[in-house]
Structure 1
Amino acid sequence: MDHSPKYLGMRGARLKVAMVLLVVAPSFLLFGYNNGSTGGILTLESFVHQFPKLDTVNTKGSVKAHNSLVKGAVTAAYDLGAVFGSLSCIMYSDKIGRIRTILAGLILAIIALAIESSAYTVAQFTIGRVLVGWAIGTISASVPVWQTECSTTKHRGAFVILEGLCISAGITTSEWVTYAFTFAFSSSAEWRVPLVLPVVFALFVMPFLFFMPESPRWLCQGRLEEARRTLAALADEDLYSLDVSAEMDRIQLSLESSRGSLKLLLTNGKERYLHRTILAMTDLGFKANKSRILSCTLVTAQTCCSLIPLFTVDRFGRRKLLMFSAAGLAVCMAVMAGTGGSSTTASAAVVFIYLYDFFYPIGFLGLTFLYATEIAPIRMRVPITAIANATQWLCQFVVGQISPPGTTNLSNRYWIIFAVLNVSFVPIVFFFFPETNGRSLEEIDHIFENSHVFNVVSTARKLPYQTNQDLEDMLHDKAGQEQPKHVEDTDTDKEGGKMSKA
């Protein structure tokens, strides 16, 4: 009799759609909204009146220079909080599970947003920014792991890359909400309400988490029967169907072949932990805003373009999208470097700013979260994903700090740096990033275990795709390797028995 559960009365494809709509989408809308929430409020008259130390609108000379430094530090507090929030997942996510980690991030987000939006001093506002960043860092490191570990191989790319679309939609929402509230209020409500508004996303998700399936790969580390029931529900299969049993066997083989000490991230043995960590950390992206209305239209365009990888990531694979995106971004940066700063070529620069928002989400928005979770082995998926997320947040912090002086001192030539960086990603991806499309997470482990840094791409290309029969053969071979001594003893006993009878 099949005792596999239903979640909110759903199984299979309907359950996965519910996971996206009820947990993933609002969580990453929260993520995106907070990424763009302060962009439009820092220059509002009501805001600088409340925080004169952050006023760079009505000040000049040394006062303006000092306030700019303070303003940069306060803004960057969000990114630094996100770095530590991502890394904190290493300490507890594997102990308490993916669902509880997401819940912890959402609870912290509610508290942090309340502190931030009710601030009357720079110190309180800064503490709020740090805590909001910590919450978003936790969410950005835990939701992709849960989503990847609950996904099927065939549609894992589109399932996870939806996160990028939701980030863009969240940023777009924050820009338009802030723009609208500048007309609705003339008091501090014009920035306090937009800051606290994303609380609704966290409040919406939290009750549904109690009815969602936990990651079957996390459950396999001690709760095997529950893991089987969850896999059956996600696949809409019987508990002991061939596909569910094969998936259970794959996960257990992967767990048996991997180790779990954090110090192994600094080594490069058979499992290639250091190699995988470096690949996960490599992705880097940035974006910039101009005036409020340009900013609103830019993020709206980016949100629309975020739909493209949903239809291409599982068709063309990860490598092609990453290289296409990097090449397009390099061209955009190069043209902006050559045309910016001049009134006669300003229109061309604006065109390529919009083109930048076309190329960026194709390869470097949601795909970075997907690839980091795919290449990480099961016992190290949380640490590697957390480090990858922390690296991206740290890069965002660095870019935010160097861009103001960079554009001031170098003008449009500053973008040459990013043109070179983006162009360098093309050969890096081509030579060092193996294709993961169409592979189970356990097959990806097998690719790394049978390769080294310089041939992992060719190994992934040549290695045949694993079937259930291949898995049965592997299990049979493994069982055979564990039996020789027992078989030999049995044969000896038989011979001894025959000899005694004689």
Structure 2
Amino acid sequence: MATGSFYNFLLVFFVALGSFTYGFNSAIIGSVLGLPSFFKHFDLDLEGANVEETNRIIGATNGMFAGGGMIGCLLVPWIANKLGRLRTIQIVALLCVVSAAIQAGSVHIAMFLVGRFFNGIGVGMVDVAVPLYQAEVSPAKTRGRMVGSHGFLIVCGYAGAGWVGYGCYFLTNEAVQWRLCLALQMLAPLLLLAGSPWVPESPRWLCAKGKNPEALAVLEKMHSHAMEEFYQIHLQLELEQSQQVNNSWIEIFRKKSYRKRLIYGFFVQCIAQSTGVLVVNNYQVLLYNGLGLYNSTPLVLYACYNSWAAFMNWVNSIMLDRWGRIRIMTVGLIGCALSLSCFTAMVAEYGGTENKIGNGFGVFFLYLFVTFYGGTMDASSYVYCAEIFPTTIRAQGLGFSVMGLFMMTLIYTQTAPTAFAEVGWRYYLVFITIPLAGVWFLATFLPETRLLSLEEISNLFGDEVAVDLAQMSEEQQQAMEADFRANNPNLTSTVGHESKDVSSTRIESTM
């Protein structure tokens, strides 16, 4: 079974600067909402006569972002298939820089919301493009850990946003307080854009475009047993393309195995957001206010919360290749629902009171919640959605799945200010009942993908696999390899040594 080189890990973590961009840009609004200078600058009032208008604007800041994210998810498949995975990452990095500059330079609330909307489009695209690229360059043996870095860096972005907000709270210049928070959204995508010329294109995209020598060269730089992997990728793509199923949305939904993948990917992203994770995160400072905590204390708790979540995401990525995706997510949904139940009880009983013990337990259960979510759901959901689709529709399938994330984010965060004002702690009941209801579907229907190559995963959904090396004898592999060499006599390997015919590299039975 192929394993990734240090160069492979370096590439995966470098493009995860896009993941950090998504996390930081998503969470920075939580820090900004903890800065009184932001409300003062835009004449917003959390307690006076204009509180309803303020709640609508707060909801709009998250709603515009999530709505933009949905659009980005729909745009990115076309760009990724047409221009390539790498070019897509470069385009969205530039969009994130420009939209962040608009937000930081806002002179009125409408300008801020426009910037937030376009930033949502950018991070929606990057939230698809990064795991798409990572999945296509990662070997099966370590794909969970590699693609899991997407979730890990997302939450590092959350943590970074928390600490930036805490630091900016102590700045004396009120205009710089919130503008600096928003301006720092540009840092990670600028670094990604600057380093992107040294990042190779996805070998699977190159192979799909008929650029076989380039695809093999990229694989040899990254993986052991590169020829074995190239052989499997090439023949699987030939098989998929021979079936004459184009990648139009109508045809994708018409094919049963593809439709099943779309449903499962969309479900995973929707159920992950139905734990209430972004409502808890984006309104966390206001939640701490409801527990009687004010000034800089909510901001430092928010920063610590996201730092702990980042660590748990790293734990999640390490566990994926050992314990599997479905088992981990099942445990996570139950744990999230139970810990949020306890948090809800604390808010219902002690919210707004001076009871320090009760409020302290409220904070504890909030941290327990993110321990479960970060340790089981965050990285797992992206890994699963990135690997269940065949190469020909992977960009569209992942885009459709992540659109579910932004759709549920839009619904939950847009309604949150009004819901908290009208029904208070009862709003959390939504995030307890829905995950518990989804556990059965997750555990019963979704197949486990651990340690399978992207091509072999097609077997789980009833599609034909051109080469299932794990089920073939050495003699069968040699016979198929000989046939492949006969049909591709001009394919050569040129990485790390003088040019040689690929026939000198035998496919080893190691999977």
| Structure-1-length-normalised TM-score | 0.84
SS of residue paired to 1:38: helix
Match of 1:275 in 2: 260
After TM superposition, list the pairs within 5 Å mapping 1:420-459 onto structure 2.
Answer: 420-449=433-462
* CA deviation vs aligned residue, 1:45-92 (integer Å, no higher than 9, x gap): 33223212xx123x523x221232133213321111111111111222
1:312 paired with 2:301, answer no
Equivalent-residue separation in structure 1 for 2:438 and 2:178 (angstroms): 38
1:348 paired with 2:335, answer no
Match of 1:378 in 2: 391
Match of 1:40 in 2: 31
Deviation at 1:266, TM superposition (A): 2.2
CA contact (8 A) 2:22 2:123 kept: yes
* CA deviation vs aligned residue, 1:105-143 (integer Å, no higher than 9, x gap): 001111111111001011211111011111111111111
Equivalent-residue separation in structure 1 for 2:479 and 2:236 (angstroms): 10
CA contact (8 A) 2:343 2:362 kept: yes
Kindly provide the amino acid, as one letter, of the partner of residue 45 in structure 1. Answer: P
Equivalent-residue separation in structure 2 for 1:103 and 1:447 (angstroms): 34
1:296 paired with 2:311, answer no
* CA deviation vs aligned residue, 1:131-159 (integer Å, no higher than 9, x gap): 11111111111111111011101000000
State, as a whole percentage, how many aligned pairs show the same letter: 23
Equivalent-residue separation in structure 2 for 1:242 and 1:389 (angstroms): 31
Q: 1:474 to 1:167 in 2, by over 3 A?
A: farther
Worse overlay, 345-354 or 217-226: 345-354
Q: 1:352 to 1:44 in 2, by over 3 A?
A: closer
Equivalent-residue separation in structure 1 for 2:233 and 2:474 (angstroms): 12
CA contact (8 A) 1:407 1:414 kept: yes
Query: 325, 328, 334: which one pairs with 2:332?
Result: 325
Equivalent-residue separation in structure 1 for 2:450 and 2:186 (angstroms): 35
Match of 2:205 in 1: 218
Match of 1:66 in 2: 53
SS of residue paired to 1:70: helix
What number of residue pairs does the alignment pair up? 451
Kindly provide the amino acid, as one letter, of the partner of residue 132 in structure 1. Answer: N
Query: 5, 16, 21: which one pairs with 1:13?
Result: 5
Task: Compare relative contact order (CA 8 Å, sep 6+) and give the higher one, 1 or 2.
Answer: 2
CA contact (8 A) 1:220 1:252 kept: no
1:88 paired with 2:95, answer no
Equivalent-residue separation in structure 2 for 1:409 and 1:468 (angstroms): 65
Worse overlay, 435-444 or 12-21: 12-21
After TM superposition, list the pairs within 5 Å mapping 1:84-163 onto structure 2.
Answer: 84-163=71-150
Structure 1 residue ranges without an equivalent (≥5): 1-10, 452-462, 480-502
1:360 paired with 2:373, answer yes
Kindly provide the amino acid, as one letter, of the partner of residue 225 in structure 1. Answer: P
SS of residue paired to 2:170: helix
* CA deviation vs aligned residue, 1:439-474 (integer Å, no higher than 9, x gap): 1111111221259xxxxxxxxxxx994457597499
RMSD: 2.7
Deviation at 1:33, TM superposition (A): 0.8
* CA deviation vs aligned residue, 1:162-196 (integer Å, no higher than 9, x gap): 11111111111111111111212322111111211
1:56 paired with 2:45, answer yes
Equivalent-residue separation in structure 1 for 2:417 and 2:229 (angstroms): 54
Worse overlay, 72-81 or 151-160: 72-81
| Structure-2-length-normalised TM-score | 0.82
Structure 2 residue ranges without an equivalent (≥5): 289-297, 485-511
Equivalent-residue separation in structure 1 for 2:469 and 2:8 (angstroms): 28
Query: 18, 38, 41: which one pairs with 1:27?
Result: 18
Equivalent-residue separation in structure 2 for 1:414 and 1:444 (angstroms): 39
SS of residue paired to 1:120: coil
Equivalent-residue separation in structure 2 for 1:185 and 1:474 (angstroms): 74
Q: 1:143 to 1:440 in 2, by over 3 A?
A: same
Equivalent-residue separation in structure 2 for 1:155 and 1:361 (angstroms): 19
Kindly provide the amino acid, as one letter, of the partner of residue 21 in structure 1. Answer: F
Larger Rg: 1
Q: 1:450 to 1:206 in 2, by over 3 A?
A: closer
Match of 1:248 in 2: 234
